[in-house]
Chains A and B, each alone.
Chain A
Amino acid sequence: MSLFLTQLMNGIGNGAVYASLALALVLIFRTTGILNFAQGEMALYSTYLFWYFTDRGLPVVVAILAAMALSFIGGALVERVVIRPVEHSSPLVLVIVTIGLFLALNSIVQVQFGSDIKTNLPRAYPKHTWRPGNVQISADTLVLVGMLAVVCVLLYLLFQRTKIGLAMRAVASSSESARLSGVPVGQMLMFGWGLAAALGALAGVLVIPQIGLQASSMQSILVFSFAAAALGGFDSPVGAVVGGLIVGVAEALTTQYVHALNGIVLIVPFGLILGVLMVRPQGLFGRRTVERV
């Protein structure tokens, strides 16, 4: 039982990471209708920035904030420079553009920061494991879950209680009407991408010190986050969080208990998506679209 609970906690910890990256994906999907394949690599670049700052002697918290701020600017720039020109193209062209971005960022970090693994990343908090009744709960899990909770509350407040949040929701529900009522749609899209990039940066900075920083660090995390977003429904932030936690827990429990799937654990998140989408094609929390002939 304690083993089960330990694995459950680990799963929730990983799930929190998947959930925050999935939230970033959903933010972009809702405002621009784009599935951003480069989200993970954007977070990767942010984490390299974080490493660079701490390597130059900045305190950890300052480095995190600086990396997030730069990522915000970078994300907004990506929207303006790379995405805007093809905004109204076919979805296929958008897929190609974000994949191009993925390839470019992945190789730029290697050229700029070197392709060796960086192991000297400082942690933002001390390493510790609590053992209440044989259940192991690591500080990582608590910090990640705490981070996710704070992020959710902040996003909720931003979207429901501020003017800028209202404008963003207007853009998401109908950019044409929003533009007609005077919402600066372009700026809102840049803001959305910036926000998503900063969110990815936070997730990257907190999780990568546990697994080591190299060019491929974010890829499997991104795959799980995709699974999380698809599970919850691409247009639902709540879905992203729930989906992330489900995927994380399912992964941890499968690794522990189902030995037949050793080495092919990835079958779990994709099996889950497939199962859920067969019953609810719009995801667990997604909105259903009605089609007219």
Chain B
Amino acid sequence: MVSRRQTQVIGLVMSIIVLVLLIWLPHHNGSTNTLRWAQVLYIGVAAMGLNLLTGYNGQVSIGHGAFFGVGAYTSALLMHNHGWSFLPTLLVAAPLCFLVGVLVGFPALRVKGLYLALVTLGLAVLFPDLTKKYVHATGGTNLVSLNRGELSPPAWVPTSVSAIGRDDQWAYYVCLGAAVVLVIAALLIVRSRFGRALIAVRDHESAAASVGINAARVKVMAFALSALYAGIAGSCSVLVTHLANAEKVQTFQLSIEFLVALVIGGTATVVGPLLGAWLVVTLQHWISDTLPQHVGSLGPLKRVLGDPAASPALFGIMLILFVFVLPDGVVGGFRRAWARFVRNRNQTPHHAPAPLAT
């Protein structure tokens, strides 16, 4: 039997290897690829936040694109209108998103399940309208676009990779730093007393309340924390995309991407959302950029697959197929395979209970 201690050591070694690879990555990649990896990281961060709420606490939200937007706008406006550099804007954006999360979390105390999903959907469709009404940026629209000077890193940042721009490098390492800090934070959160309370409330709210857990406080905190994660992700996205924008479709799509990353990665697991984010970004890139270059050989399919309008269809279909095959996500599937492997090797007759959180 592989003991818990051994599993932990394996996990630690793996994380260090992955981290070293991620730090080295820009040396290997061009600017475009580096920025795509930065995108993976910030979507992963938002999905991790959603995981605290949906995976561990059982509250489904389809509105986290709005929190992401709050973070993005806060950073972009502070940098654009007030000449702040990026890092201090996080000190404003993160607490602000936390507060917005608390505000949204309160109604969520009464509203559950699908009803909650719908209320948060309302948040996602309302947010673009709000920004259109109250944010007046480029040409009176709600698009805040930043120029090179406003995005450049502070002077103390060394230039280590000469092949790609200083800005892009800065963007990537900021996203990586945020992801690392927030992964560790998530690990600490889910293993703490509060984390166990999150799970208890998810599994049976009344039972949790009857053993003395303040269910209301736990649920509001879960909302606020996940909003904070999404907001930091939004702030980081500004460095990568050089803008803050909120179109209806876009905000809704982001909210969905977070949820998709979470579900295909594996809910209630710490690394699942990051893996899921990587899958989502890679899949979308593959469908919209790589696939059309190779459909020439497919004959009659070319007209259909080469059409840019077809990418969401392929993405949607792949999504459905994916959850058919792995309903508990990549991490869940991996765990089942691992459990089978370990059991076969040790000839233990009974199935090992799956660990709830790693």
Q: Which residues of A contact B (CB under 8 A)?
A: 35, 82, 85-86, 89-93, 95-97, 99-108, 110-111, 115, 216, 219, 223, 226-227, 230, 234, 262-264, 266-267, 269-270, 273-274, 277-278, 281, 283, 291, 293
Contacts and interface: CB of A to CB of B under 8 A. Distances in A.
Nearest to A219: B248
Of B117, B121, B125, B309, which is in contact with the most chain A CB atoms at under 10 Å from its CB? B309
Contacts of B54: 92
Contacts of B317: 100, 104
Interface of A is mostly: helix
Nearest to B107: A274
B263 A93 contact: yes
A78 B247 CA distance: 30
Given A93-B327, A96-B260, A264 B133 contact: yes
Interface string B51-64: 00010000010100
A266 B118 CA distance: 13
Contacts of A111: 304, 307, 309-310, 313
B252 to A, nearest CB: 9
A90 B307 CA distance: 34
30 contacts: A35-B114, A89-B323, A92-B259, A95-B60, A95-B62, A96-B264, A99-B259, A100-B316, A100-B320, A101-B316, A103-B315, A103-B319, A104-B312, A104-B313, A106-B312, A107-B309, A107-B310, A110-B310, A111-B304, A115-B309, A219-B248, A223-B121, A223-B125, A226-B118, A264-B129, A264-B133, A273-B118, A277-B107, A278-B111, A291-B205
Contacts of A115: 309
Interface string B99-127: 00000000100111111011101110110
A274 to B, nearest CB: 5
A139 B267 CA distance: 50
Given A86-B327, A107-B312, A110-B309, A227 B204 contact: no
B125 A266 contact: yes
A291 to B, nearest CB: 6
Interface string B307-336: 101111101110110011001000000000
B132 A281 contact: no
B115 A91 contact: no
B111 A277 contact: yes
A266 B129 contact: yes
Given A93-B323, A95-B117, A264 B204 contact: no
Nearest to B116: A277
B269 to A, nearest CB: 13
B114 to A, nearest CB: 5
Q: Could you say which of A101, A103, A108, A278 has the most chain B C-beta atoms within 10 Å of its C-beta? A: A103
B60 A92 contact: yes
The list of the 4 closest CB pairs from A to B, nearest first, reads: A104-B316, A103-B316, A270-B122, A100-B319
A226 B207 CA distance: 31
Contact of A293 (B110, B113, B207): B207
B342 interface: no
Contact of B313 (A85, A103, A216, A267): A103
B256 A99 contact: yes
Q: Which of B122, B204, B205, B263 has the most CB of A within 10 A?
A: B122
